[in-house]
């Protein structure tokens, strides 16, 4: 049985707040630490975040997403059980949404064949099969699940209990909770009525965006409204900030519902890896208590800085997983299939060992290459500085112009030396805390 992690960072409703580096880091971490990534079929057509990632690849090399897809590490979630290729998925979605619907985003269009080919190559591997949406009779509909998730998490008098474990986070979430009361209740219910009128079930996110946008003054004949449109029509900065956070909440509910519907784990992107914006997430954050043992665990490990490791060649990153990650992934799957304290401790031990091996690989490869690019083999230049000053001091009188001229190369070496020292400190592996949850966990 394959265990999937829902890769939700490709959702363009996050594009107004998700930095390019965060998308790349989220993708890299999922590839390193999850068995397979599950991607909603729509994101292959309309994700500007995915398009930007592919474009950022070094010329002449595949992006990490393309390479991982070819290896079967990224699997599409198709709604139609007869779909076998990305071209077939496009045909089904065109019929579902109508030919007038702009399925393919202009930024994805020139990259279409690259991305489609990579996914199809992966799907042709003997051990890889497409993932198909559950039948509505088995799991209800996505719209019904989304409506229920919104009501469960947002239509309550108070925020979730776990948000009160950090006083600062509790205070700020409470402010947004009060500011968003009408959004959480009135506009959600209004959108649910329109969803039902269309003949659909539950709640459609696009209808919720319409409710919010129309209430802020967007003409009611506008039926395609983005988060950016909504934020730009807010009355002031305070309302815009509250709206940004609320839109992240409803998008997180959307992803949580997908994970529940598909029966997968989920990994929410952290918007700032070093200083988590404490009200960006309505779900449990790194500032809250760790999950219950029956839900998951947190584990402190040594790990390279993400912003540095993500710059490594895509082939190297996939090789790290392929060459070093098998033991961890085996222990992870055993714990996922048979949750127990013993299996959890084995998974933790394997995770620490895996991260130690990543650090060793990084120290002998990526880190050394980065330092070498700047240092070019230079050592401490202080002896050259002293020698040059002493030599010039014997023959220069008045304003020592010659001193600056002759010191130019040496001072360049001095600057380079300190730049290398600073870089070395910045890219040294650091202790970080990783969280791993079971697929059934919220």
Per-residue pLDDT tens digits for 219-244:
999 988 999 999 999 999 999 999 99
Residue 410 lies in a domain: no
Token pair of 60 as six digits: 């002449």
Residues 165 and 351: their CA atoms lie apart, in Å, by 27
Whether residue 5 is found in the same domain as residue 27: yes
Please write the tens of the pLDDT for every residue from 256-267.
Answer: 899 889 988 776
Once rounded to an integer, what is the mean pLDDT over residues 413-428?
A: 52
Are 345 and 436 found together in one domain? yes
The number of domains in the chain is 3
**Within this chain, do residues 16 and 67 fall inside the same structural domain, yes or no?**
yes
pTM: 0.79
- Rounded Cα–Cα distance for residues 100 and 188 (Å): 27
Mean local confidence (pLDDT), 292-298: 78
Half-sphere exposure of 176 (CA within 13 A, CB side): 23
**pLDDT band at 166, cuts 50/70/90?**
confident
With beta carbons less than 8 A apart as the criterion, state whether 212 and 167 touch: no
**Is residue 94 over pLDDT 60?**
yes
Express as a percent the part of the chain with pLDDT over 90: 45
Looking at the structure, tell me whether residues 301 and 433 fall in a common domain.
Answer: yes
User: What would the pLDDT profile of 372-419 be if each residue is shown by its tens digit?
Assistant: 555 555 454 444 444 444 444 443 333 333 333 344 444 444 444 444
For residue 194, pLDDT over 70 is answered with yes
The three-state secondary structure class of 61 is coil
Sheet holding 4-6, edge to edge: 131-132, 74-78, 36-40, 4-6, 265-266
Residue 70, in any domain of the structure:
yes
d(CA 14, CA 251): 8
- Please check the confidence at residue 346 and state whether its pLDDT lies above 90: yes
Q: Per DSSP, what are the bridge partners of residue 303?
A: 430
Residue closest to 32 by CA, chosen among 288, 321, 256: 321
Residue of higher predicted confidence among 363 and 214: 214
Task: Supply the range of the domain harboring residue 316.
Answer: 290-377+418-442
Residues 128 and 31 in one domain: yes
Q: What angle do CA 103, 104, 108 make, to 5 degrees?
A: 155
Minimal CA–CA distance to 408: which of 388, 438, 387, 422?
A: 388
> What is the DSSP pairing of strand 4-6 with strand 265-266?
parallel
CA angle centred on 182, ends 209 and 194, rounded to 5°? 45
| pLDDT computed for residue 199 by the predictor | 87
- Residue 123 and residue 165 in one domain: no
For residue 217, the model assigns a pLDDT of: 96
Q: Are strands 4-6 and 36-40 parallel, antiparallel or unpaired?
A: parallel
Q: Do 331 and 220 fall within a single domain?
A: no
């Amino acid at each position: 049985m394959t265990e999937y992690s829902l890769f939700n960072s490709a959702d363009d409703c996050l594009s107004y707040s998700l930095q390019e580096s965060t998308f790349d880091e989220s993708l890299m971490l999922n590839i390193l630490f999850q068995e397979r990534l599950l991607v909603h079929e729509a994101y292959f057509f309309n994700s500007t975040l995915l398009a930007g990632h592919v474009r950022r690849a070094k010329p002449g090399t595949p992006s990490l997403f393309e390479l991982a897809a070819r290896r079967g590490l990224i699997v599409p979630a198709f709604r139609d059980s007869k779909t076998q290729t990305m071209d077939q998925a496009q045909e089904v979605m065109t019929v579902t949404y109508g030919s007038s619907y702009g399925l393919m985003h202009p930024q994805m269009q020139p990259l279409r064949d690259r991305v489609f080919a990579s996914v199809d190559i992966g799907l042709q591997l003997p051990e890889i099969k497409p993932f198909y949406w559950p039948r509505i009779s088995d799991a209800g509909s996505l719209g019904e699940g989304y409506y229920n998730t919104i009501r469960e998490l947002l239509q309550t008098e108070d925020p979730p209990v776990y948000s009160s474990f950090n006083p600062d986070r509790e205070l700020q979430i409470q402010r947004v909770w009060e500011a968003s009361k009408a959004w959480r209740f009135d506009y959600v219910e209004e959108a649910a009525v329109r969803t039902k009128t269309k003949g659909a079930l539950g709640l459609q996110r696009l209808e919720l965006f319409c409710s919010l946008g129309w209430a802020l003054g967007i003409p009611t004949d506008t039926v395609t409204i983005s988060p950016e449109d909504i934020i730009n029509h807010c009355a002031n900065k305070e309302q815009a900030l509250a709206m940004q956070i609320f839109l992240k909440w409803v998008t997180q509910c959307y992803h949580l519902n997908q994970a529940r519907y598909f029966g997968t784990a989920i990994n929410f992107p952290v918007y700032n890896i070093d200083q988590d914006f404490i009200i960006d997430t309505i779900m449990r954050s790194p500032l809250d208590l760790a999950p219950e043992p029956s839900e998951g665990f947190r584990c402190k490990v040594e790990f390279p800085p993400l912003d540095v490791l993500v710059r490594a060649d895509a082939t190297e990153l996939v090789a790290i997983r392929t060459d070093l990650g098998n033991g961890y992934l085996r222990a992870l799957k055993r714990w996922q299939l048979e949750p127990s304290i013993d299996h959890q401790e084995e998974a933790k031990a394997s995770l620490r060992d895996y991260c130690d091996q990543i650090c060793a690989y990084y120290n002998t490869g990526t880190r050394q290459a980065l330092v070498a690019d700047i240092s070019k083999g230079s050592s401490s230049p202080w002896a050259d500085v002293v020698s040059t000053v002493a030599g010039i001091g014997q023959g220069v009188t008045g304003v020592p112009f010659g001193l600056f001229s002759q010191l130019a190369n040496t001072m360049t070496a001095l600057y380079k030396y300190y730049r290398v020292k600073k870089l070395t400190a910045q890219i040294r592996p650091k202790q970080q805390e990783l969280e791993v949850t079971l697929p059934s966990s919220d």
